[in-house]
Amino acid sequence: MRLVLIGLLAVGSVFGQGGGFPLSAFLALIRDYLSLAETQVQQIRQQNAEFEEWMAPKYERMASVLPFEIAAETAKEPIDEAVLGARYAEMERLRREIAARRATVIAANLRVLSEAQRTKMKALEEALQLVDTGAQAEGFLLMPNRCRDTAGTSTDSVVQDPLGGIRYGNVCTPGLQRAGAFARAR
């Protein structure tokens, strides 16, 4: 059972990386694992689409516009602390706003699930903790690193998450080149 959960998480994390993994395959895995009815799938998709539409301009500002504005303000002589501080404060305000809305959407999506399905989701959360623990064990050379190819070069990466933090490490599974897993600390 644990291996199935870890496999589902590894495959699901490919979706989070935005790689070439088809969205329909990921949705089929979670739909089958939770035995979701089509009405549940549609309601969750609708709530997620509304969140993505709401978040897009905020995320765009955080990821594309504010860093350039901060760099421009930092390059000025003398530095206008009020303007520079306002940019950083705006970035943090947007980050918090997105995190709060994400939590609201997650709660709404969980309300769509039955009690038995929510129990299965708790098992997935526990499996995510094991993925992070396994990555740390690999990092401390307590177990082989599954993310090294046969030539000995690493497929590990450092991923910057614009919503707050850096996550190091990957989960590799047979049949998939690489599946990154962000720490879900927000």
Q: Span 82-106, mean pLDDT?
A: 95
Is 126 within 8 Å of 184 (Cβ atoms)? no
In this prediction, residue 2 carries a pLDDT of: 45
Distance CA 52, CA 46 (A): 10
Q: Which domain, by its residues, includes 35? A: 2-145
Q: How many domains does the chain have?
A: 1
- Determine the length of the chain: 186
- The two structure tokens encoding residue 171: 């989960």
Q: What DSSP designation does 20 have? A: S
In this prediction, residue 139 carries a pLDDT of: 85
Q: CA-CA-CA-CA torsion for 92, 166, 25, 102, nearest 10 degrees?
A: -20
In this prediction, residue 171 carries a pLDDT of: 41
In this prediction, residue 133 carries a pLDDT of: 87
Q: How many CB atoms lie within 10 A of CB 91?
A: 19
DSSP 158-180: EEEETTTEEEE-EE--TT-S-EE
Is 167 within 8 Å of 180 (Cβ atoms)? yes
Residue 185 confidence class, pLDDT cut points 50, 70, 90: very low
In this prediction, residue 22 carries a pLDDT of: 57
What residue type is assigned to position 15 of the chain?
Answer: F
Q: Span 120-145, mean pLDDT?
A: 88
